Amino acid sequence: MLQFKDVKDVRRFCAKKGIEQIAFFVSDMDGRFRNVTIPAENFSERTVNDGIGIDASNLGFATVDRSDMLIKPDLAFGFEDPVDPEAKTLYFICDILDIGTHENFKQDLRHIVDKALGALRDEGVADQAHIGLELEFYVLDELYSTMTVRETSYRVESGELASPPGGSELYRIYSNRGYFRSEPNDQHFALRNEICRAFKRLGLGVKYHHHECGSAQYEIEFKFQPVGFMADMTTLAKHICHRIARKHGKIITFIPKLIPGEAGNGMHVHQFLLKKGKNVFHDDKGLYLLSRTALNYIGGVLSHPCSLAAITNPTTNSYRRLIPGFEAPVKAVFAEGNRSAAIRIPGYVKDPAERRFEYRTIDATCNPYLAYAAMLMAGLDGIRRRVDPVKEGFGPYEANLYDLPKDKLLKVRSFPSSLESALEALKADHEWLTYKGVFPKDLVDKWVSAKQKDLADMQKIPHPWEIARYYDL
């Protein structure tokens, strides 16, 4: 990652490196980067001081009648093109400014993460949060989606999927037998290496990568980073994965549930808080070596499972992954080493400096800025209210939850089974987000409205299962 002191520093770098274009990234409401690019010679003091005008209504943030906003490049977050060095392009991630005041737009995603950290500091809880990430995805040769008056369908093709139409079983992987598979069955080992090299050039540390359970499914795990940096980098990492896949004629998808019967894609988020450089989640005498602060934080996250899911699992497809029987957890409980629990405390972590928990329900269709900020605010709510997760019945559950008798399982609080339920919960339960103005209320309303539109659009489309099941009644 490149950090520049001022405009002159940027121009010197461009001259030295032969940079021809400067591109500016800003995330939209869904969590996709949008981009505007200028010739390098046009980069000036005015670019930084006055910003670049945009139509924010197309990003989901503003109404058409008040859509003019500014984006301002963050000179501390620049990078050369990590996918195509020959492109001679320098990138900056930008903040969104109010055109009238030139101050941070209150719905600016990066600003919301900063405000969430500020709330933790104001309460004396912590001065930093660190995030570690497991990013799961499928690599496809082809993806077709058809919606016409005669056909509604989708089809995927991958060299790893078993039982191909032509019958050629050339080093393919049968359903859910892919975990840690190696070459030649792992057909995209070199592709992942290329992706990880691009991440390294950005300063995003990779812990490891491997084949996941599904055919053509993979995981890249990142080292811990401060939450603001990780929000930027999560969004950027997905963007880079898509670009490198496209370069090789492949498709990478993070969609939570792609193939019936195969494992879904999650985005497990490991997290802990720091105060004056010390991990405040560790306590030698605590349950699972967790401090009271950590347990209260867990209690806060688990006490808002449905409204939090509206942000961490914000698509209709998210809830096709959150079904019993797979590793995607559907119960709001915690335990050590239990992958059927929403919150898992890794049993292999012995270092007090890395005492943490893993939130397993979230998926990568979330907007990382909003999702990370929401988790911090849910945790802060638990700390403020001193929520004891044990007394509240959130655990610990040491056994596989799906092995519990049905009557006991029904007593365990669940995550929502649909986006509709999650959005209704968020409408009723969002004060923990708007505390100290971290999430503006109008942003919550816009989020709910946008996702309800997605839901309404999807509900208009008959499902192939329905046709097969009911056509002859």
Say whether both 87 and 140 belong to one domain. Answer: no
Q: What is the pLDDT of residue 326?
A: 67
Say whether both 91 and 183 belong to one domain. Answer: no
Tokens of 436: 């100290």
- CA-nearest of 82, 88, 80, 54 to 68 is 54
Mean pLDDT of successive 10-residue stretches along the chain, which has 473 residues: 95 96 95 95 94 87 74 95 94 91 86 96 97 97 92 92 80 90 95 97 94 96 96 97 97 96 94 96 94 97 97 97 81 87 90 94 97 98 97 86 77 91 97 96 95 95 92 93
- CA-nearest of 137, 165, 164, 338 to 256 is 137
Say whether both 337 and 406 belong to one domain. Answer: yes
Task: Say which amino acid occupies 303.
Answer: S
DSSP 8-state symbol, 172 = -
Angle between helices 419-428 and 441-459 (to 10 degrees): 160
Tokens of 232: 């930027």
Does the annotation count 431 as an active-site position?
Answer: no
Does residue 121 lie in a domain region?
no
CB 288 within 8 A of CB 345: yes
Domain range for 382 is 128-470
Residue written as token pair 């005041």 = 101
Indicate which residue of 95, 358, 363, 381 is catalytic: 358
Total structural domains in the chain?
2
Q: What is the pLDDT of residue 460?
A: 92
User: Element (H or E) spanning 302, and its range?
Assistant: helix 292-302
* Whole-Å CA distances, 122 to 108, 325, 338: 20, 42, 34
Indicate which residue of 74, 81, 108, 134 is catalytic: 134
Does the annotation count 320 as an active-site position?
Answer: no
Contacts of 339 (CB under 8 A, 6+ apart): 327, 329, 360
Angle between helices 189-202 and 227-247 (to 10 degrees): 140
CA torsion sign for 269, 273, 277, 279 is negative
CB 354 within 8 A of CB 345: no
Say whether both 236 and 272 belong to one domain. Answer: yes
Does residue 114 lie in a domain region?
no
Indicate which residue of 181, 270, 360, 430 is catalytic: 360
**Strand-strand pairing, 52-55 and 278-279:** unpaired
Q: What is the pLDDT of residue 197?
A: 96
Indicate which residue of 212, 283, 363, 381 is catalytic: 212
SS3 of residue 192 by DSSP: helix
Q: What is the pLDDT of residue 379?
A: 98
Q: What is the pLDDT of residue 120?
A: 97
**Strand-strand pairing, 128-140 and 251-253:** antiparallel
Rounded Cα gap, residues 134 and 142, in angstroms:
25
Q: Which of 73, 105, 137 is the last residue of a domain?
A: 105
Say whether both 206 and 80 belong to one domain. Answer: no
Does residue 2 lie in a domain region?
no
Q: What is the pTM of this model?
A: 0.95
Return the ∠ at Cα 329 (arms to 434 and 156), rounded to 5°. 105
Q: Which of 39, 72, 105 is the last residue of a domain?
A: 105
- CA-nearest of 473, 461, 381 to 146 is 461
Does residue 118 lie in a domain region?
no
Say whether both 260 and 348 belong to one domain. Answer: yes
Residue written as token pair 């409408």 = 427
Does residue 111 lie in a domain region?
no
Does residue 120 lie in a domain region?
no
**Residue 285 maps to which CATH number?**
3.30.590.10
CB 344 within 8 A of CB 338: yes
Rounded Cα gap, residues 24 and 37, in angstroms:
6
Q: What is the pLDDT of residue 175?
A: 87
Residue written as token pair 């080292």 = 223
CB 422 within 8 A of CB 430: no
* Whole-Å CA distances, 84 to 4, 243, 244, 252: 22, 10, 9, 18
Rounded Cα gap, residues 253 and 268, in angstroms:
16
Indicate which residue of 181, 192, 268, 356 is catalytic: 268
Indicate which residue of 32, 243, 339, 384 is catalytic: 339
Does the annotation count 268 as an active-site position?
Answer: yes
Indicate which residue of 74, 95, 186, 219 is catalytic: 219
Rounded Cα gap, residues 361 and 340, in angstroms:
10
Does residue 112 lie in a domain region?
no
Q: What is the pLDDT of residue 63?
A: 66
Say whether both 179 and 216 belong to one domain. Answer: yes
Say whether both 156 and 48 belong to one domain. Answer: no
Say whether both 225 and 304 belong to one domain. Answer: yes
Q: What is the pLDDT of residue 373?
A: 98
Task: Say which amino acid occupies 409.
Answer: L
Does the annotation count 384 as an active-site position?
Answer: no
Indicate which residue of 50, 55, 84, 183 is catalytic: 55
Does the annotation count 358 as an active-site position?
Answer: yes
Say whether both 397 and 265 belong to one domain. Answer: yes
Does residue 115 lie in a domain region?
no
**Strand-strand pairing, 21-27 and 357-359:** unpaired
Say whether both 34 and 65 belong to one domain. Answer: yes
CB 393 within 8 A of CB 299: no
Which parts of 248-356 fold into alpha helices (H)? 292-302, 305-312, 318-321
Say whether both 205 and 93 belong to one domain. Answer: no
**Residue 88 maps to which CATH number?**
3.10.20.70
Q: Which of 47, 74, 105 is the last residue of a domain?
A: 105
